[in-house]
Amino acid sequence: MAQRMAGRFEARPLAAINVTPLVPVLLAIFAVLAATAGGPGKPVNLYVEPGSVPPPYDALHPLPPRVFISLERDGVHVGPSEAMTLEQAVSLAAPMTRAQGADVIMVRADIETPYSEVMGAVRALNAAGLKAEFLNEDLH
């Protein structure tokens, strides 16, 4: 009898499917279904306030070009202008940006420009009441 029982506990491969990787997928599906299910008789509100979605690009009335400040080796440039100091650049770019009804100036820097100069430009723009967005493009 002992030999018959020994065969039952041998090391054999399990014949069960591993459902562990399936648990996060099922939880994600459940969360999406629970969030979108409105319940019985309760519709999902898809109303969007007018003006909260930006208008599509209009070829007849294109958006004005963005004002940008370039930090390069020879100085600071506003658009294609000559080199100047940072204070001069901010005082020149601020009225141009506000004339467009915006408060964002694009900032781009040469790869050799120290980080401290870039952050100095951001601080100067913030002091003038403007926000900085960064462009990632080659200036050469």
d(CA 15, CA 112): 62
Q: What is the pLDDT of residue 26?
A: 92
pTM exceeds cut of 0.85: no
Select from 99, 103, 88 the least CA-distant residue to 133: 103
Q: What is the pLDDT of residue 3?
A: 57
CB 128 within 8 A of CB 93: no
Give me the tens of pLDDT residue by residue for the chain, a chain 140 residues long: 555 555 566 676 667 788 888 999 999 998 888 877 766 666 666 676 776 666 666 666 666 777 888 888 888 888 777 888 888 888 888 888 888 888 888 888 888 888 888 888 899 999 998 888 887 666 55
Q: Fold for 68-134, please state it.
A: Nucleotidyltransferase; domain 5 (3.30.420)
Give me the residue spans of the domains in the chain. 68-134
Q: What is the pLDDT of residue 98?
A: 87
Q: What is the pLDDT of residue 106?
A: 86
H/E run at residue 106: strand 104-109
